[in-house]
């Protein structure tokens, strides 16, 4: 295997394990991503949310429809333009995001604590490098 393959496999395994730590396993990764972005960044239009999440508007429309039906996302009129709709996380949606984050941190924190100081330093350095790679 190559360094790239080893890194990709390790990142995918960790990512998959963390993604499984959700408050409700019936919420898909795409749905959680959209909901978490609305919770973090505030209300926005479907077009803006689609662009920021890197998906097509038709795909985001389906994702949001499920979240609205579940009471996790609200649709409100845009103050300046009545043709636009603002999407936002409801209180239930915000609670879902926070609970999922708590579960994920709860899984990861003791594992990080079990590392040596040198390993935590190495991981902190690697985290910054991976953040830069993800932005390219």
Lowest mean pLDDT among 53-67, 68-82, 90-104: 68-82
Report the alpha-carbon distance of residue 129 to residue 123 in Å, rounded: 10
Report the alpha-carbon distance of residue 15 to residue 12 in Å, rounded: 5
Lowest mean pLDDT among 35-39, 58-62, 79-83, 87-91: 79-83
Is the pLDDT reported for residue 73 higher than 90? yes
Mean pLDDT of 29-56: 96
Question: For all residues of the chain together, what is the average pLDDT?
Answer: 93
Q: List the structure tokens of 22.
A: 């959700």
Report the alpha-carbon distance of residue 22 to residue 92 in Å, rounded: 14
Which domains, and CATH codes, for the chain?
3-135 (1.10.10.10)
Global confidence as pTM:
0.82
Lateral strand order in the sheet of 85-89 = 44-45, 85-89, 73-77
Q: How confident is the model at residue 28 (pLDDT cuts 50, 70, 90)?
A: very high
């Amino acid at each position: 295997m190559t360094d790239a393959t080893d890194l990709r496999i390790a990142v995918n395994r960790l990512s998959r394990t963390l993604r499984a730590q959700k408050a409700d396993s019936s919420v898909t990764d795409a749905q959680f991503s959209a909901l978490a972005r609305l919770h973090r960044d505030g209300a926005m239009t479907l077009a803006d949310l689609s662009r920021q999440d890197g998906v097509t508007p038709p795909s985001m429309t389906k994702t949001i429809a499920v979240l609205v039906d579940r009471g996790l996302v609200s649709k409100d009129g845009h103050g300046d333009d009545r043709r636009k709709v603002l999407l936002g996380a409801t209180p239930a949606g915000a609670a879902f995001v926070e609970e999922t984050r708590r579960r994920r941190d709860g899984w990861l924190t003791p594992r990080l604590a079990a590392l040596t100081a040198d390993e935590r330093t190495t991981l902190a350095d690697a985290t910054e490098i991976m953040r830069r790679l993800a932005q390219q």
